[in-house]
Amino acid sequence: MIDIEKAKEKLKSLGYKDIYLWQDPPGTFYDWHTHSEDEIRYIIEGEITIGTEEGIYHLKAGDFLEVKAGTKHWAKTEIGVKYLCGSK
């Protein structure tokens, strides 16, 4: 089991702020979009697939992905996912 408080501290040590817990139910899909700041997704439980123009990343509990500002990406979950989000 992922310790959420330790995970938050790890993200803070990487310079991320505005860290919050988010959850998506099974079947959630986010179409192509960008963010104005660097973003991170740290998976607490479940699985998510995030696609960028550079590749597709399948993330499970304990994995994280940094998405740089302006990077076009999409995301979907088949089984549902809980993750920490942060920006910098």
Q: What residues does each domain of the chain span?
A: 4-87
In CATH terms, the superfamily for domain 4-87 is: Jelly Rolls (2.60.120.10)
User: What is the pTM assigned to this prediction?
Assistant: 0.93
Q: Are 30 and 75 in contact (CB under 8 A)?
A: yes
CB 73 within 8 A of CB 33: yes
**pLDDT truncated to tens, each residue of the chain (88 aa)?**
799 999 999 999 999 999 999 999 999 999 999 999 999 999 999 999 999 999 999 999 999 999 999 999 999 999 999 999 999 9
